[in-house]
Structure 1
Amino acid sequence: MNLEELDSREPDRVIDLDLRRVMKQSLWLTGGGAAVLYLVSFLIRGEISLSVSFGGFMLGLLLFTVGYVVLIVLHEACHLLGFRIFGGVPFRKMAYGVNLEMGIAYATTEIPLRNKPMRDALLLPLWLTGILPGIIGIWLDSHLLILLSAFLIGGAAGDLEMNRQLRKLPDNWLIRDDPEKPKLYAYDPQEKEATPDEPGGTEDGPHENGTTHES
């Protein structure tokens, strides 16, 4: 099924995120992620060391802000990398941008992917920009990396929700990404296009003399 065929038919399923619900999930994931990471750190080290000063706090806040922006950019770049690795999409067929109205960054491709590769591409940023910094943060005993990890895990709430809904569909379905909105269009590749009526009849049925209407 090529792009022209997809453009000529309606999607069999539309996955449209409820941003308010996703925001709530993001808060829970951020808090829960931080709690789990600090618990693991405590179990490994037997303590949680913390020293606070005004200068240290301001420097930490600055580093957190810069690190968060960098990881958000990398999060979207990981989607593009996932499209390439799992879906074989050429980089020239991808796009990256920011939806100022919705306040979100996005990475997209005009090429539809099968369901399984699309799910893998959705979750790749969670592993590389969420889980991995947390593991490094525990290893280095870095509060900065642990907190950044928690926030990036929370930032993957939309990807996790899309993955949850895509798991309800067969792996061979084609998934097309909306170029600007957090929305996916799913197509059943087995569904056949409507075929023209056989000669000798119309939608209203055959003529009495066996011929069809001419338009």
Structure 2
Amino acid sequence: MVRKPLISLAILVAVIAALLAAWTFGGRQVSLFIDRFGTIEIASAPIHAVSYEGSGTGGWLTVNDVHLSLNHINPRIALNIGSTKDNQFAVASGGKVFALGPLTHTGENDGDFLAVVPQTGDDAFLVTRRSALSWPTPFEFNHMTGHSPSWKRHMYYELRWKKPSGATLDMLWRYEQPFYGQQIVPGDGWGSGFSVHEGTTGLIRVNINPSP
């Protein structure tokens, strides 16, 4: 009679140990899997200005004061940014084009720098989300600073733009955010939400829906 509870306890301990090992060694993938079902919104800000620095592919997109890289991109995404014949700031992907609006008149607007502001009637927001599940990083060490994160989580930045015509643009970036603790990072202890990891971060989605 004693052996049965002991066997059950041993099985429970083994299962818990396996889950902890999976969380420690495969936490990034577990977090990515859970993110498919939902993430936690932490901010939603109206877009006041967008600028692009680059040659049409790659470069940087700055939304308000948030710098989002176009150099790390899902290889399945074909993306071009430029201007149309009537001087509209445009994003093109998958054979579809979304014109954000007329180029703003700045001295910097040229082939490698473009800028635009939302037009009257546009519904444009930058939404920031984070993973529901963080993962431990006990084996990560930064040799340059000597400070290593104890946890990480994913951060998501989504550009949503809808025209009065019904046309929409959706762009989603994913990055990692390390946790160092309040002794190193005042406030909540979380560092920059723009850390990269080869193969899982950068621009991961672009959806353009023309006017219905």
TM-score of the two chains, using structure 1 as the length reference: 0.23
Structure with bigger gyration radius: 1
Bigger strand fraction: 2
Structure scoring higher RCO (CA < 8 A, sep ≥ 6) equals 1
Bigger helix fraction: 1
TM-score of the two chains, using structure 2 as the length reference: 0.24
